[in-house]
Structure 1
Amino acid sequence: MSPTNIILIRHGETAWNAERRLQGHIDIALNDEGLRQAGALAEALDGEHLDLIVSSDLQRAAQTADALARIRAMPVQRDPLLRERCFGGFEGLLYAEIEQRFPLEFAAWQAREIDAAMPSGARVAETFRQFYQRAVAAIVAWGRAHPGRTLALVAHGGVLECAYRAALGLSLETPRDFPVLNASINRFRVLDGKLSLVSWGEVGHLQPRVLDELN
C-alpha cells in the first residue's frame, strides 16, 4: 500500500491566542492577523497538489481551511474529531486565571499528569491521554482511507502536538520542547496505520512581504 501524505496545518491566529486565553472547544474566529496568515498559507501551498482538504469544525480551523480551498475551488470536509482538546472549566480563562482559580488542577496540567481530570465547565474535559488517542486516531483514519493521496488537514495546536509525539514515539509525559506555530505547515506520512514525520514547523510563508520602495 502506498503511503498517504498528510500536510497538517495549525489554524491562523485568534485574539485569544494573542492574549493566552485558553480556547479548547470554544468557537473563536480568526483575528485580522490570522486571516492574513491563512491567505499567506494558501498562496504558499498553491503550487502543491492536494487531493482532499479536511478541517476541524471549529471556525478558526474552518476559516483557515476555507482560504486554502478557495483558490483551488475545492470543497472542505469538516471533522469534529480534529478539534482541539476539550479543557472543561479551564476554557475561556487566561492561563494566570486558571492558576489562581484551580491551583491543584493547574499544577497537575503543567506537570503533564496525562490522566489528571480537569474541572468540568460547559463541557466535560478530556484527559491528555483521551485527547491524544482521539486526535491520532482521526489523522490515521484519514490516511488509511486515502492511500497514495495528499491530504491537507487543518486542526489545532494540541492536535499537532499529538501527531508529532506519535510520529517520533515521544512519551506523553515529557515536556513540549518543540514549537507549535499558528498557520505552520507540518508534513507527515501515514503507512500501515503509523505516522512518520517528514518536516516540521514551516513558517517562511508568514514573513511580512518585503515591498520595493516604488510599490
Structure 2
Amino acid sequence: MSKTLIIWRHGQTDYNLGRRVQGQVDIPLNERGRAQAEAAASVLAGLPISRIVASPLGRARETAETVARRLGMAVELDERLKERNFGSWEGLTAEEIQAGWPEDFTSWRDWGDPNPERTGVELRREVGERVAESWREHAGRIVDGETMLLVSHGSACTQGVTAMLGIDPSDWFGIHGLDNCHWAVLQSSNRKPGWRIMGYNLGAEDTAIR
C-alpha cells in the first residue's frame, strides 16, 4: 500500500481576483473563495484523511478548516508551507511590476526567477526545497494506506510538486499552477523519485477523484 498526499490550494481572494501578486501578504478569502472551499470540502471530507497540515497564512488556514470541521480534526500549521516570498512585488499587478522592474519582469516571465538581490523574490528552487521538505517530513508521520491533506498556495504547490518529482523547479516548467481550491494527488512509490502524480488540478466539479 502507498501513502497519499492531497496537495490543496486555497480558495479565491480579492488579490487573486484582481490578478495581484500575493506572496506572503496575509490576504483573507473572499466570499467566492469561501464558497469554493465549502464545495471542495464536501468532496475531500469523504476521503480517509488522517491529518491536515496547512500554511499559517489566513487564506490557507481558513480553507483547511472547512474540511477539518467536517472531520472533527485539528489543523496543524507549518511555516514552510507559506507562499513564495515575492519581496517588493507583493501586492502589485504584472503591469506594475513590468513598469518598475522591466529586466526582472522579463526574467521572471521567461525563466521564472528575477534577480533576488534587486527584487527580494525567493527563487523557485528555494520554494520547492522548503515545501517538499515539509511534505516529506509530514508524510513520514503517517503509515501506508493513510491520506494526508496539505493546504498551501499557488506557487508553493507548483514548486513543491516539482521538487517531489525530483526535478529542479528553477529549470523545469512542465506543470501549470493549481486553480483556486483545486488539488493534486501524490502517492508514495518504491521507485525513484519516491512519489508519483495520481491526479492534478482536481476540483469539486470532478466526478471521479482518485
- Scaled by the length of structure 2, what TM-score is found? 0.87
Asked whether 1:165 is paired with 2:162, we answer: yes
Compared with structure 1, are the counterparts of its residues 116 and 136 closer, same or farther at alpha carbon in structure 2 (3 Å cutoff)? farther
- State the SS of the aligned residue for 1:159: helix
Compared with structure 1, are the counterparts of its residues 182 and 107 closer, same or farther at alpha carbon in structure 2 (3 Å cutoff)? same
C-alpha contact 1:9 1:153 (8 A) present in aligned 2: yes
Letter in 2 for 1:165: T
Asked whether 1:105 is paired with 2:104, we answer: yes
1:86-132 Cα distance to aligned partner (Å, 9 max, x none): 01101111111011111111111112254731635xxx531111111
Moved more, 132-141 or 8-17: 132-141
1:95 maps to 94
1:139 to 130, 135, 140: 135
Count of residue correspondences: 203
- State the SS of the aligned residue for 1:119: helix
For structure 2, which runs of at least 5 residues remain unmatched after alignment? none
C-alpha contact 2:154 2:177 (8 A) present in aligned 1: no
Alignment of structure 1 residues 190-209 onto 2, 5 Å: 190-191=188-189, 194-205=194-205
Asked whether 1:126 is paired with 2:101, we answer: no
- In the alignment, the residues of structure 2 paired with residue 116 and residue 133 of structure 1 have an alpha-carbon distance, to the nearest angstrom, of 19
For structure 1, which runs of at least 5 residues remain unmatched after alignment? 208-215
2:150 maps to 153
- State the SS of the aligned residue for 1:180: coil
- State the SS of the aligned residue for 1:67: helix
Structure 1 residue 32 displacement after superposition: 0.4
Compared with structure 1, are the counterparts of its residues 177 and 77 closer, same or farther at alpha carbon in structure 2 (3 Å cutoff)? closer
- In the alignment, the residues of structure 2 paired with residue 146 and residue 116 of structure 1 have an alpha-carbon distance, to the nearest angstrom, of 39
Letter in 2 for 1:189: Q
C-alpha contact 1:62 1:154 (8 A) present in aligned 2: yes
Q: State, as a whole percentage, how many aligned pairs show the same letter.
A: 29
Structure 1 residue 45 displacement after superposition: 1.6
- Scaled by the length of structure 1, what TM-score is found? 0.85
